[in-house]
């Protein structure tokens, strides 16, 4: 205690000085002893007052919310001030560190792709991240202290939240604003009955699940018909004695059903391959002209002279992407044009590069056309406007969804325009980044007819 000796010395010296001064003053009135006592007392009182003033300065400094520089003292008071300040600074540091940790922790929760809500024992919102705010349509700051069940009233959600303990499974509910489907999991934590609510947007997953279910149902349905027909014929063949003509007719019908199943499987495999493979490279160029020649040959074979086919290339060009995928997309469109255009109808297939550099492949027919209300759903799997016509002409209901997949994988889009009874136009638009102009004039020239 280095302050103790100076403090005692100051006390003794102060008292002594008071005694000496008091004795000197007492000489005057002839009472030196009394003067000495009064002087010593006055010295002690003066020192006590000084101490009180210093103590007040220290207390005032401690009382202030922002501790600035501490009062300058010496001796005992300097030691006291120093100790107090040190403790304060240590506390301040510890608090700052804790606040920083808390802020980092909250930032981490905010960065979570899942919604996180903390509820108190009464189910009132204590804290929530931005994702939770979006999921539940709440404002974590404004709605702090509100009961979550007052803001989100979906009965399934309210029941789930009010369950005792930790439910084993999350509940899947529509979000209050109805835009998403949420999977919500509740966890109780701590010993004060606090609740952690974790929400996840499962809209896409639910949609995919529904699509998968529909898809399986559709495929089963598509397979069932030809299989039923085939098994019926097999039974007929094995039970009934048929004439040669009848036998040939049955075999022909069986052949048709087999072809139908093969076409379905081919399209299903094509779709699976499109979904499972990476996007076609953007630096692998496919020349448009040979592609169109191939499409033309296939179209002519399918039409077998029943239609008036025209191919028109404004200028040569290359498309960055997969030749086989592009061939299948354009081939499907031309195939549809042939199948949905009555004999004698006209089909025009053209390629052009727009001024903005994008490429356009148009397949225009004068066929049966499509009612406007069907257009948005046309590229869905197994969507058919006229099922019997589609099946009679060998359609699987998957052609346009393959086309859409292919064009989207090439960064482009499909546009459909049609008028019932007049005809349809299917347009594939490829982005400029995947199109390159070829300077030499294509051999397949404007109004180059099939013959």
Q: Using CB under 6 A, list all residues that contact ligand ADP.
A: 336-337, 340, 365, 367-370, 378, 383-386, 390, 395-401, 424
Instruction: Pick the closer one to ligand ADP by CB: 268 or 398.
Output: 398
Angle formed by the axes of helices 4-28 and 32-63, to 10°? Answer: 140
Closest distance to ligand ADP from the beta carbon of 258 (Å): 17
Instruction: Pick the closer one to ligand ADP by CB: 316 or 369.
Output: 369
Instruction: Pick the closer one to ligand ADP by CB: 280 or 395.
Output: 395
Closest distance to ligand ADP from the beta carbon of 347 (Å): 9
Closest distance to ligand ADP from the beta carbon of 260 (Å): 11
Instruction: Pick the closer one to ligand ADP by CB: 369 or 412.
Output: 369
Closest distance to ligand ADP from the beta carbon of 257 (Å): 16
Report the DSSP pairing between strands 171-174 and 115-119. unpaired
Closest distance to ligand ADP from the beta carbon of 333 (Å): 7
Instruction: Pick the closer one to ligand ADP by CB: 96 or 392.
Output: 392
Closest distance to ligand ADP from the beta carbon of 307 (Å): 12
Closest distance to ligand ADP from the beta carbon of 243 (Å): 35
Instruction: Pick the closer one to ligand ADP by CB: 23 or 327.
Output: 327
Instruction: Pick the closer one to ligand ADP by CB: 136 or 340.
Output: 340
C-alpha to C-alpha distance for 106 and 237, rounded to whole angstroms: 75
Closest distance to ligand ADP from the beta carbon of 431 (Å): 23
Instruction: Pick the closer one to ligand ADP by CB: 163 or 262.
Output: 262
Write out the chain in H/E/C secondary structure: CCCHHHHHHHHHHHHHHHHHHHHHHHHHCCCHHHHHHHHHHHHHHHHHHHHHHHHHHHHHHHHCCCCCCCCCCCHHHHHHHHHHHHHHHHHHHHHHHHHHHHHHHHHHHHHCCCEEEEECCCCEEEEECHHHHHHHCCCCCCCCCCEHHHHCCCHHHHHHHCCCCCCCCCEEEECCCCCCEEEEEEEEECCCCEEEEEEEECHHHHHHHHHHHHHHHHHHHHHHHHHHHHHHHHHHHHHCCCCHHHHHHHHHHHHHHHHHHHHHHHHHHHHHHHHHCCCCCCCCEEEHHHHHHHHHHHHHHHHCCCCEEEEEECCEEEEECCHHHHHHHHHHHHHHHHHCCCCCCEEEEEEEECCCCCEEEEEEECCCCCCHHHHHHCCCCCCCCCHHHHHHCCCCCCHHHHHHHHHHHCCCEEEEEEECCCEEEEEEEECHHHEEEECCCCCCCCCEECC
State the residue for tokens 């804290």.
127
Closest distance to ligand ADP from the beta carbon of 374 (Å): 7
For residue 426, what are the CA distances in angstroms to 286, 338, 407, 412? 21, 13, 12, 13
Instruction: Pick the closer one to ligand ADP by CB: 226 or 369.
Output: 369
Instruction: Pick the closer one to ligand ADP by CB: 36 or 361.
Output: 361
Closest distance to ligand ADP from the beta carbon of 349 (Å): 12
């Amino acid at each position: 205690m280095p302050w103790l000796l100076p403090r005692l010395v100051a006390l003794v010296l102060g008292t002594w000085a008071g005694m000496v001064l008091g004795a000197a003053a007492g000489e005057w009135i002839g009472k030196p002893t009394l003067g000495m006592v009064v002087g010593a007392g006055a010295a002690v009182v003066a020192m006590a007052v000084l101490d009180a003033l210093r103590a007040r300065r220290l207390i005032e400094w401690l009382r202030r919310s922002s501790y600035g520089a501490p009062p300058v003292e010496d001796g005992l008071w300097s030691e006291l001030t120093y100790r107090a300040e040190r403790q304060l600074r240590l506390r301040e540091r510890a608090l700052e560190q804790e606040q920083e940790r808390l802020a980092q922790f909250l930032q981490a929760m905010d960065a979570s792709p899942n919604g996180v809500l903390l509820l108190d024992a009464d189910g009132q919102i204590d804290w929530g991240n931005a994702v939770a705010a979006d999921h539940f349509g709440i404002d974590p700051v404004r709605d702090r202290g509100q009961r979550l069940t007052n803001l989100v009233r979906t009965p399934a959600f309210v029941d789930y939240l009010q369950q005792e303990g930790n439910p084993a499974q999350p509940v899947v509910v529509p979000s209050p604003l109805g835009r998403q489907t949420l999977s919500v999991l509740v966890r109780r934590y701590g010993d004060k009955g606090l609740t952690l609510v974790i929400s996840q947007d499962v809209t896409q997953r639910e949609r995919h699940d529904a699509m998968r279910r529909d898809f399986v149902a559709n495929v089963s349905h598509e397979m069932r018909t030809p299989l039923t027909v085939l098994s019926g014929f097999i039974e007929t063949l094995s039970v009934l004695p048929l004439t040669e003509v009848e036998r040939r007719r049955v075999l022909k019908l069986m052949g048709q059903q087999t072809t139908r199943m093969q076409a379905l499987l081919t399209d299903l495999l094509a779709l699976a391959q499109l979904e499972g493979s990476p996007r076609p490279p953007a630096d692998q160029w496919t020349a448009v002209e040979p592609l169109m020649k191939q499409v033309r040959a296939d179209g002519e074979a399918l039409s077998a002279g029943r239609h008036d086919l025209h191919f028109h290339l404004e200028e040569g060009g290359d498309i960055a992407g997969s030749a086989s995928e592009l061939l299948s997309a354009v081939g499907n469109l031309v195939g549809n044009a042939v199948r949905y255009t009555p004999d004698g109808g006209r089909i025009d297939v053209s390629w052009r590069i727009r001024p903005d550099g994008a490429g356009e492949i148009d397949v225009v027919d004068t066929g049966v056309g499509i009612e406007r209300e069907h257009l948005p759903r046309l590229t869905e799997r197994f969507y058919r406007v006229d099922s019997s016509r589609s099946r009679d002409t060998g359609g699987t209901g998957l052609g346009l969804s393959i086309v859409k997949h292919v064009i989207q994988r090439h960064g482009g889009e499909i546009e459909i325009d049609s008028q019932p009874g007049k005809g349809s136009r299917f347009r594939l638009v490829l982005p400029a980044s995947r199109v390159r102009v070829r300077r030499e004039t294509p051999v397949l020239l404007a109004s180059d007819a099939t013959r």
